[in-house]
């Protein structure tokens, strides 16, 4: 019922790529839109997909406080970190191998976005610059990269243990002569 071997590995790689390239960025951008709507701000939203990925731009038609602007900017990163952490925690609690694998891939996909944001002058950088706190950008970058690397290691650890278990079940069991007769 579940893909095994190379097909199974390929399906998880494709799923991870789809989460990294499509799902996570869309949820990131929609988080900004959701917060703008919650604040009741008139706006036009532009979400574009290019070779460089999915990105958005929101034209606001009323003024916002610095706190509102910061929350709007950080909402995408915060939501993707939350989804990544919850996925990783759920993977730890679940015993079903394939569901655990899916949750690890999902966690990795969602943690990639915040880690990537730290390498570019994305939302976190812009928010810190608004408050003249650019000096804290490296610290936040390190924390988000550690979260991503931790998720990556946990995913690799899960893949290795799953592979070992699969190899054990595929090996023929040797019996004694009396059990074979």
- The confidence score (pLDDT) of residue 52 equals 73
pLDDT value at residue 8: 62
Summarised one tens digit per residue, pLDDT across range 35-62 is 999 999 999 999 888 877 788 889 999 9
Residues 6+ apart with CB under 8 A from 102: 12, 15
Domain boundaries, the chain: 5-165
Write the DSSP string, the chain.
----HHHHHHHHHHHHHHIIIIIHHHHHHHHHHHHHHHTT--EEEEEEEETTEEEEEEEESS---HHHHHHHHHHHHHHHHHHHHHHHHHHHH---HHHHHHHHHHHHHHHHHHHHHHHTT-HHHHHHHHTT-GGGHHHHHHHHHHHHHHHHHHHHHHHHHHHHHHHHHHSPPP--HHHH-
Below-70 pLDDT ranges, the chain: 1-9, 166, 169-181
pLDDT of residue 24: 92
Question: What pLDDT does residue 49 have?
Answer: 85
**pLDDT of the residue at 42:** 94
- Which pLDDT score is estimated for 169? 67
Q: What is the token pair recorded at 83?
A: 């989804």
pTM: 0.80
């Amino acid at each position: 019922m579940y893909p095994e071997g190379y097909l199974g590995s390929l399906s998880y790689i494709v799923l991870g790529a789809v989460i990294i390239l499509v799902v996570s960025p869309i949820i990131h951008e929609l988080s900004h839109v959701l917060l703008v709507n919650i604040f009741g701000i008139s706006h036009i939203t532009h979400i574009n997909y290019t070779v460089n990925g999915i990105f958005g731009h929101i034209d606001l038609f009323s003024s916002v406080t610095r706190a509102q602007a910061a929350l709007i900017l950080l909402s995408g990163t915060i939501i993707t970190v939350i989804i990544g952490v919850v996925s990783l925690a759920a993977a730890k609690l679940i015993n079903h191998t394939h569901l655990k694998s899916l949750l690890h891939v999902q966690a990795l996909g969602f943690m990639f976005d915040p880690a990537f944001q730290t390498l570019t002058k994305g939302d976190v950088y812009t928010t810190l610059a608004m408050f003249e706190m650019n000096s804290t950008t490296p610290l936040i970058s390190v924390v988000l990269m550690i979260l991503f690397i931790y998720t990556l290691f946990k995913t690799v650890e899960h893949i290795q243990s799953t592979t070992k278990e699969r190899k054990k079940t595929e090996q023929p069991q040797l019996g004694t002569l009396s059990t074979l007769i």
